[in-house]
């Protein structure tokens, strides 16, 4: 088994035609009954990834300890699953392949995926990470930014400690991503607000293992 200390952090970008394959599906994300359900729309699934083939695992609830999430920790959250046409796309598989290769993840490992749209309307800002500077309680995390429409803010921040200033602060463009060692780094993101009429949204996939 590969040691997670064999990698720290890597930046990259998905193929732009693959970004286009993924982007439209964010318009189908449902609201939920949880604390952030009106402005952070989400689907959630988990997969086994072996020999570059994805196998969707049975649906399950998502839960984080309050040790890592003091916003919605110890809450069992159930989300609708990611749509099958997205799962079957070359673009979706590329995300898994890049994530696995960067993190030295064993073949056949299980990977969880959150598909999230954060919405801001009018002059009101929305929190991209309401839990603030945090770790997620995994070993490996990949944050893939698919789109940002009409937004001010939304920069992703990477920190060496919870209370340290970010050493990376970057507004990721379409398809750009960061994969990081969750045992070594903390992360956060700036709130977003609309740059003009019509509202704003930020679309991301988050992979964890």
Domain count, the chain: 1
- Dmax over Cα atoms in the chain, in whole Å? 51
Kindly give, in sequence order, each residue whose CB lies less than 8 Å from that of residue 28, ignoring residues fewer than 6 positions away: 83
Residue 105: which domain range? Answer: 4-208
At 84, is the secondary structure helix, strand, or coil?
helix
Q: How far apart are CA 119 and CA 23, in angstroms?
A: 15
Q: Residue 73 has what pLDDT?
A: 45
Q: Residue 40 has what pLDDT?
A: 87
- Contact between residue 168 and residue 151 where contact means Cβ atoms under 8 Å apart: no
What residue has token string 């991503």?
A: 177
Q: Residue 75 has what pLDDT?
A: 60
Structure tokens at 47: 């997969």
Q: Residue 32 has what pLDDT?
A: 78
Q: Residue 171 has what pLDDT?
A: 95
The CATH number of whichever domain residue 153 belongs to comes to 2.60.120.620
pTM over 0.85: yes
- Contact between residue 92 and residue 54 where contact means Cβ atoms under 8 Å apart: yes
Q: Residue 104 has what pLDDT?
A: 93
Mean pLDDT by 10 residues, the chain (209 residues): 70 95 94 77 93 88 53 66 95 96 92 95 88 90 96 96 96 95 95 90 96
Structure tokens at 33: 């009954």
CA 43 to chain centre: 11
Angle (nearest 5°) at CA 163 between 161 and 166: 70
- Contact between residue 154 and residue 190 where contact means Cβ atoms under 8 Å apart: yes
């Amino acid at each position: 088994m590969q040691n997670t200390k064999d990698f720290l952090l890597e930046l990259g970008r998905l193929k732009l035609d693959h970004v286009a394959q993924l982007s439209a599906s964010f318009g189908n994300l449902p609201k939920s009954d949880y604390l952030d359900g009106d402005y952070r729309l989400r689907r959630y699934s988990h997969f086994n990834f072996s020999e570059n083939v994805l196998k969707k695992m049975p649906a399950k609830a998502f839960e984080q300890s309050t040790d890592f999430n003091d916003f919605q920790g110890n809450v069992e959250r159930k989300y609708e699953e990611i749509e099958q046409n997205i799962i079957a796309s070359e673009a979706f598989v590329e995300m898994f392949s890049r994530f696995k290769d960067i993190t030295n993840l064993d073949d056949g490992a299980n990977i969880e995926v959150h598909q999230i749209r954060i919405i801001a309307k009018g002059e009101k800002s929305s929190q991209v990470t309401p839990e603030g500077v945090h770790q997620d309680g995994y070993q490996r995390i990949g944050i893939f930014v698919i789109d940002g429409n009409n937004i001010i803010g939304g920069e992703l921040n990477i920190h060496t400690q919870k209370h340290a200033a970010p050493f990376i602060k970057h507004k990721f463009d379409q398809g750009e991503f960061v994969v990081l060692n969750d045992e070594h780094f903390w992360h956060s993101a700036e709130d977003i607000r609309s740059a003009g009429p019509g509202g704003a949204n930020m679309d991301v996939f988050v992979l964890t293992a």
